[in-house]
Amino acid sequence: PISTVPISTAPAALLPNIRVPAPTPRRYLLCEPRHFEVQYSINPWMREDTPVDTARAGRQWEALVSAYREHGHTVETVAPVPGLPDMVFAANSALVVGGRVFGSYFQAPQRRPESAEYETWFKAAGYDVYRPESLCEGEGDLVPAGRHILAGTGFRTTREAHAEVQEFFGVPTIGLQLVDPYFYHLDTALFVLDEGETTTEETAATQGTPATGGANAATGRANIAYYPDAFSPGSRAVLRRLFPDAVIASRDDAMAFGLNSVSDGRHVFIAPGAVGLIDQLTHRGYVPVPVDLSEFHKAGGGIKCCTQEIR
């Protein structure tokens, strides 16, 4: 059953029949930025040896953890490892759906050792970990959205990995071509606002429990926000077809890491600089919760990059 709340804070004329679902409690895995630095450059945001204010990064990260907990979510942490400065970007370590863990195989040699560290955490937590044969950077490029898994390629995760993901989860996996180096991971250009309904068979396939809410009550399907110019023309057409009601973000909002957001179905943990997007989400009935991770932007990451969701 989906509980919905009517929107009462905006003029009714602006909100024809829009209702947003109740938030659902989530389980997140994060990595404290004790060893976070920008030592090497593997995306256009990174400049070698950019000074990072570690204390400030720590405070920003604590604020994110607090925001999740205050909204009823569970936060767990993996121990940071010296010499793995990007390990703070927990999202890249795996995709977890229905308790099944599809691990990572990083493109950059500097990040490859992170996979084993996360694998150790998952195993200790009682999960088996599948090791992909093809380059694959977890939730950085793999985004479950209702009946599909959206899968980015172009910079990191390969098309071969998309096939492996589909075979592993048995969920239709939609390849999306990324074309702008500033948006090198799918999760920098797109995020899921609410997850919609999955079918019984699909739920069984991923060994999950039946969806309890999280559906877009107006349409019954998942909804997303994205920046169209980050995608090839064909991929843009696919997104329009699958998500006709999507929230379309501007380049400014995308460059402010506004699409590297985390939503629990109602609250959207979002970079405060994405002012246009914050405004649009509010008008759609979502509740933006701004969290500033500007120190992490120096490495090309934001809120979502720091957050692995254990589904």
Catalytic residue set? 185, 305
300 is a site residue for ligand ARG (CB under 6 A): yes
Which residues, 52 to 111, sit near ligand ARG by CB under 6 A?
A: 86, 89, 91-92, 111
152 is a site residue for ligand ARG (CB under 6 A): no
- What is each CA distance from 20 to 2, 265, 267, in whole angstroms? 10, 8, 10
The tokens describing 208, both together, are: 């999950």
Residue 161 CB, nearest approach to ligand ARG (Å): 15
Q: Which is nearer to ligand ARG, 198 or 261 (CB)?
A: 261
188 is a site residue for ligand ARG (CB under 6 A): yes
- What phi and psi values does residue 241 have, to the nearest 5 degrees? -65, -45
Q: Which is nearer to ligand ARG, 21 or 85 (CB)?
A: 85
- Which region among 6-14, 42-50, 120-128, 221-229 touches ligand ARG (by CB under 6 A)? 42-50
Q: By CB under 6 A, how many residues form the interface with ligand ARG?
A: 16
- Which region among 12-20, 41-49, 53-61, 230-238 touches ligand ARG (by CB under 6 A)? 41-49
26 is a site residue for ligand ARG (CB under 6 A): no
- Return the closest-CA partner of residue 291 out of 138, 66, 8, 40: 66
CA dist 32 and 78 (Å) reads 8
Q: Which is nearer to ligand ARG, 193 or 306 (CB)?
A: 306
CA dist 294 and 311 (Å) reads 27
CA dist 105 and 144 (Å) reads 19
The tokens describing 255, both together, are: 């460059």
Residue 89 CB, nearest approach to ligand ARG (Å): 4
Residue for token pair 């059953």: 1
CA dist 199 and 271 (Å) reads 33
Classify residue 157 by burial, with Cβ atoms within 10 Å: 0-12, 13-18, 19+.
buried
DSSP β-ladder status, 27-31 and 19-21: unpaired
Among 140, 152, 228, 285, binds ligand ARG (CB under 6 A): 140
Residue 27 CB, nearest approach to ligand ARG (Å): 18
Fill in the DSSP letter of residue 248. E
Which residue type sits at 305?
A: C
Among 162, 185, 221, 298, binds ligand ARG (CB under 6 A): 185
Chain positions contacting ligand ARG, by CB under 6 A: 42-43, 46, 86, 89, 91-92, 111, 140, 185, 187-188, 299-301, 305
